[in-house]
C-alpha cells in the first residue's frame, strides 16, 4: 500500500479524509479505520466486481466484518430507485443494523446509488466511497451529492450525504478504457478553468504523461482536483451559490447528453464541448480573450475530448433542454461563465442575444 496524498474535507462533524495512492483497495488497516459496526454491504456492478471485489472481501474477512454484496447491472439506466430498493431489501433481510457500513465500489453511478441508499437506510448509515474511475475520484465521490434518476429527469431524487472517507486508488485506472479516462480528464481540466490558472498551466505541461497513465502525475491531478472541490464544498456544502461553479459546461453538456441520448456522449465528453460553449459566451461578453479558447481547445484535444457540440443539434434543442436545468430560476437560465482563466461566476446576467449567437455558432 502506498498513500501518496491524504487530504481532508473540512465540514465540521461531517469532515472526512480522502486517501489517494496505489494498492489501496484491499488494505484492511485503512478500511478498518472507517468501518463503524461489525457488518458491511459492498455495492458494485458486473464490470467492476470481477476486477476488485475479492480484495475488499478479503480485507473485511481479515477484520472479522460480516459482509454482503449487491452487484448491480452496469449502466446509467440502472441508477434508479429500484436499485436503491434492492440494496435496502438485502440489508433488511440480512439484518444490517444502524451501525452497518455501505461501501461503494465503482464509478459515479455506483457511488451515487450506494450513497443515497446509505443516506436513507434506517435514516442514515456509515458510508465509504471507493471510486474506480477518474471522474468519480475527482468529482462524484467528494462533496456528498448522492442520488438516482427519475424517468422525467436525471439526478432528480437524492440527498446531500457525506461519506466517512474516500479511498481513491490510482491503480484502478489500469483497467479503465481510454475513453472513460478522457471523460474524467474533462472534469480535471474544468478545475483549472474555474479555480486555478496555475493548475491549468500544469495540465498543459503534463497532459501527455497523464493520458499515458503516469501514476505520480495522475495522483497529483486527483489531489489538486479534490482539493479544489473540497475548498468549494466547504464554503457551500448544499449549493446555495458558489458550489454551482463546479458545473462549468454542464448546462450545455446536459443538453447534449439528453438530446443525443444518454450514453452516446459520455458525461465528460458533453462537458468538454459545453465548456467551450461557456468560454465562447464569456468571450462574447467581453470577459475573457480569445487565448483562453485556443488554450482550452488545444488541451481538450490532447486529452482526446470533443471541443464542439454535435453539428446536428439546433439552438432550439439546446434552449428547450437548458430551460429544465436545476440552476434555471423563474425562467432565467443561469450559466457558469468565466470572468478570467481560473475564475468562474454563476450568473443569469448575460446578454441573451449573445447566448443565441453562441448556440448558433
User: What are the residue numbers of the active site?
Assistant: 123, 145, 187, 229, 239, 243, 247, 250, 254, 267
**Is residue 135 involved in binding ligand NAD (CB under 6 A)?**
yes
Residues 245-264 that bind ligand GLY (CB under 6 A): 246-247
**Is residue 26 involved in binding ligand NAD (CB under 6 A)?**
no
For the chain, how are helix, strand and coil distributed in percent, rounded to 5?
50, 20, 30
Residues 195-254 that bind ligand NAD (CB under 6 A): none
159 DSSP β-pair partners? 146
Name the residue nearer to ligand GLY (CB basis): 7 or 41.
Answer: 7
Binding mask 139-178 for ligand NAD (x = CB under 6 A): xx--x-x---------x----------------x--xx--
- Applying CB under 6 A, what is the total number of residues that bind ligand NAD? 28
The sign of the CA dihedral 96, 98, 101, 106 is: positive
* Interacting span for ligand GLY (CB under 6 A) from 120-128, 137-145, 219-227, 307-315: 137-145
**Is residue 295 involved in binding ligand GLY (CB under 6 A)?**
no
Rounded Cα distance between 361 and 357, Å, is: 6
What angle separates helix 178-195 from helix 197-211, to the nearest 10 degrees? Answer: 170
Residues 187-226 that bind ligand GLY (CB under 6 A): none
Strands 39-45, 101-106: pairing kind = parallel
Residue 207's Cβ-side half-sphere holds a number of Cα atoms within 13 Å equal to 23
**Is residue 274 involved in binding ligand GLY (CB under 6 A)?**
no
Give me the residue whose beta carbon is nearest to ligand GLY.
246
**Of the residues 254, 267, 295, 334, which one makes contact with ligand NAD according to CB under 6 A:** 267
| In contact, 158 and 148? CB cutoff 8 Å | yes
| In contact, 189 and 203? CB cutoff 8 Å | yes
Q: Work out how close the CB of 204 gets to ligand GLY at its nearest, in angstroms, rounded to a whole number.
A: 23
Name the residue nearer to ligand NAD (CB basis): 45 or 251.
Answer: 45
Nearest to 296 by CA among 196, 178, 203, 226: 203
The sign of the CA dihedral 102, 133, 280, 325 is: negative
Between the alpha carbon of residue 100 and those of residues 69, 104, 124, the distances in Å are: 13, 13, 10
Binding mask 42-81 for ligand NAD (x = CB under 6 A): ---x-xx--x----------------------x-x--x--
Number of other residues whose CB lies within 10 A of the CB of residue 57? 17
Q: Which of ligand NAD, ligand GLY, none does residue 71 bind (CB under 5 to 8 Å by kind)?
A: none
| In contact, 275 and 295? CB cutoff 8 Å | no
Nearest to 40 by CA among 113, 149, 114: 114
Contacts to ligand GLY by CB under 6 A: 139, 143, 145, 243, 246-247
Contacts to ligand NAD by CB under 6 A: 45, 47-48, 51, 74, 76, 79, 106-110, 112, 132-133, 135-136, 139-140, 143, 145, 155, 172, 175-176, 180, 183, 267
Amino acid at each position: 500500500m502506498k498513500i501518496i496524498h491524504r487530504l481532508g474535507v473540512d465540514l465540521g462533524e461531517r469532515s472526512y479524509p480522502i486517501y489517494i495512492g496505489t494498492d489501496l483497495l484491499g488494505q484492511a488497516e485503512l478500511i478498518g479505520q472507517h468501518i463503524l459496526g461489525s457488518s458491511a454491504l459492498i455495492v458494485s456492478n458486473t464490470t467492476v466486481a470481477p476486477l476488485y471485489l475479492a480484495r475488499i472481501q478479503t480485507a473485511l474477512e481479515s477484520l472479522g466484518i460480516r459482509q454482503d454484496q449487491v452487484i448491480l447491472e452496469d449502466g446509467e439506466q440502472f441508477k434508479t430507485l429500484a436499485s436503491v430498493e434492492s440494496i435496502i431489501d438485502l440489508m433488511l433481510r440480512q439484518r444490517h443494523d444502524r451501525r452497518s457500513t455501505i461501501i461503494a465500489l465503482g464509478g459515479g453511478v455506483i457511488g451515487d446509488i450506494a450513497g443515497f441508499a446509505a443516506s436513507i437506510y434506517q435514516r442514515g448509515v456509515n458510508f465509504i466511497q471507493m471510486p474506480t474511475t477518474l471522474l468519480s475520484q475527482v468529482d462524484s465521490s467528494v462533496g456528498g451529492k448522492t442520488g438516482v434518476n427519475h424517468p422525467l429527469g436525471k439526478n432528480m431524487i437524492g440527498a446531500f450525504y457525506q461519506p466517512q472517507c474516500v479511498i481513491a486508488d490510482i491503480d484502478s485506472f489500469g483497467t479503465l478504457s481510454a475513453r472513460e479516462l478522457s471523460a474524467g480528464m474533462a472534469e480535471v481540466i474544468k478545475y483549472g478553468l474555474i479555480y486555478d490558472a496555475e493548475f491549468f498551466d500544469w495540465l498543459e505541461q503534463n497532459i501527455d504523461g497523464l493520458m499515458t497513465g503516469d501514476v505520480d502525475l495522475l495522483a497529483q491531478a486527483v489531489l489538486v482536483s479534490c482539493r479544489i472541490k473540497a475548498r468549494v464544498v466547504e464554503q457551500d456544502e448544499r449549493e446555495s451559490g458558489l458550489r454551482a461553479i463546479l458545473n462549468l459546461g454542464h448546462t450545455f453538456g446536459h443538453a447534449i447528453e439528453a438530446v443525443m441520448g444518454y450514453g452516446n456522449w459520455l458525461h465528460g465528453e458533453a462537458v468538454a464541448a459545453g465548456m467551450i460553449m461557456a468560454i465562447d459566451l464569456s468571450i462574447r461578453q467581453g470577459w475573457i480573450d480569445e487565448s483562453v479558447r485556443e488554450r482550452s481547445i488545444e488541451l481538450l484535444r490532447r486529452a482526446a475530448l470533443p471541443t464542439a457540440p454535435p453539428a446536428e443539434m439546433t439552438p432550439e434543442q439546446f434552449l428547450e433542454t437548458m430551460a429544465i436545468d436545476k440552476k434555471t430560476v423563474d425562467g432565467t437560465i443561469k450559466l457558469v461563465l468565466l470572468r478570467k482563466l481560473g475564475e468562474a461566476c454563476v450568473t443569469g446576467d448575460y446578454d441573451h442575444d449573445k447566448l443565441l449567437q453562441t448556440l448558433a455558432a
